[in-house]
Chains A and B, each alone.
Chain A
Amino acid sequence: MTQPLLSIDDLHKSYGSEEVLEGVGLEMDQGDVTVLIGPSGSGKSTLLRCVNRLTEINSGRIALDGQDVTGAETDVNELRKQVGMVFQDFNLFAHLTALENVTLGPKKVLGMDAADAEAAGRNHLEQVGLLEQADSYPAELSGGQKQRVGIARALAMDPELLLFDEPTSALDPELVGEVVEVMRDLADEGITMLVVSHEMDFARSAASDIVFLDDGEIVEHGPPEQLFQNPTADRTEQFLSRLHAHEETA
Chain B
Amino acid sequence: MAAILLQAADWLFVIDNMGLLLGGTVVTIALTVASILLGFVVGFPAGAIEVYGSDRARRVVEQIGVVLRGTPLLVIIMILYFGLSISSSAFVTATIALGLRSAAYQSQIFRGALQSVDDGQLEAARAVAMSRFEAIRHVVVPQALRRSVPGFQNEFTIVLKDTSIAIVIGIGELLTTGQNLYEGGQSTAALEIFLAVSLVYFVLTFATNRSLDRLSDYYAVPEGTT
A and B interact: yes
Pick the interface stretch among A90-98, A113-121, A239-247. Answer: A90-98
Q: Which of B54-62, B92-100, B120-128 contacts A (4 or more CB under 8 A)?
A: B120-128
The verdict on A139 contacting B224 (CB below 8 Å), with A104-B138, A109-B134 known, is: yes
Contacts of A80 in B (CB 8 A): 126-129
Q: State A78–B130 Cα separation when bound (angstroms).
A: 9
C-alpha gap A108/B131 in the complex (Å): 10
Among candidates B120, B121, B127, B134, residue contacting A108 with C-beta atoms closer than 8 Å: B134
Q: Given A85-B127, A91-B120, A91-B123 in contact, is the A137-B138 Cβ separation under 8 Å?
A: no
* Alpha-carbon distance between A52 and B123 when the two chains are bound, in angstroms: 11
Query: In chain B, residues 132-152, which have Cβ atoms closer than 8 Å to a Cβ of chain A?
Result: 134, 138-139, 142-143, 146
A81 at interface by CB-CB < 8 Å: yes
A146 within 8 Å of B (CB atoms): yes
> Given A108-B134, A109-B134, A139-B226, is A91 in contact with B124 using a C-beta cutoff of 8 Å?
yes
Q: In whole angstroms, how far apart are the Cα atoms of A48 and B120 in the complex?
A: 15
A48 to chain B, nearest CB (A): 11
A54 close to chain B: CB less than 8 A: yes
The reply to whether A139 and B121 contact each other, CB–CB distance below 8 Å, is no
User: How many of chain B's residues touch chain A, expressed as a range?
Assistant: 20 to 34
List of B residues within 8 angstroms of A77 by Cβ = 129-131
- A157 and B120 contacting across the interface, CB-CB below 8 Å: no
Give bound CA distance, A92 to B125, whole Å: 9
A129 within 8 A of B: no
Q: Mark B195-226, 1 if CB is under 8 A from A, else 0.
A: 00000000000000000000000000111111
- Most chain-A CB neighbours within 10 Å: which of B125, B129, B146, B225? B129
User: Is B128 in contact with A105, judged by CB distance below 8 angstroms?
Assistant: yes
Give min CB distance, A109 to chain B, whole Å.
5
Interface check A140, CB cutoff 8 A: yes
Interface string of A58-81 (1 = CB under 8 A from B): 000000000000000000011111
Query: Considering only CB atoms and an 8 Å cut-off, how many residues of chain A contact the other chain?
Result: 30
Residue from A90, A105, A153, A154 having most chain B Cβ neighbours under 10 A: A105
Known A-B contacts A109-B129, A109-B130, A154-B128; the reply to A94 vs B123 at CB < 8 A is: no
B139–A52 CB distance below 8 A = no
Q: How far is B143's CA from A138's CA once the two chains are assembled, in angstroms?
A: 13
Q: Does A202 contact B (CB under 8 A)?
A: no
Does A84 make an interface contact (CB < 8 A)?
A: yes
Residues of B within 8 A of A154 (CB): 127-128
B16 at interface (Cβ–Cβ under 8 A)?
no
Contact partners of B123 in chain A: CB under 8 A: 54, 87, 91
**A137 near B221: Cβ-Cβ < 8 Å:** yes
Q: Is the CB of A92 within 8 A of B223?
A: no
30 A–B contacts from the bound complex (CB under 8 Å): A52-B127, A54-B123, A54-B126, A77-B129, A77-B131, A80-B129, A81-B129, A87-B120, A87-B124, A89-B120, A91-B120, A92-B226, A93-B124, A93-B143, A94-B221, A95-B142, A95-B221, A105-B130, A108-B138, A138-B224, A138-B225, A138-B226, A139-B221, A139-B222, A139-B223, A139-B224, A153-B124, A154-B128, A157-B128, A157-B129
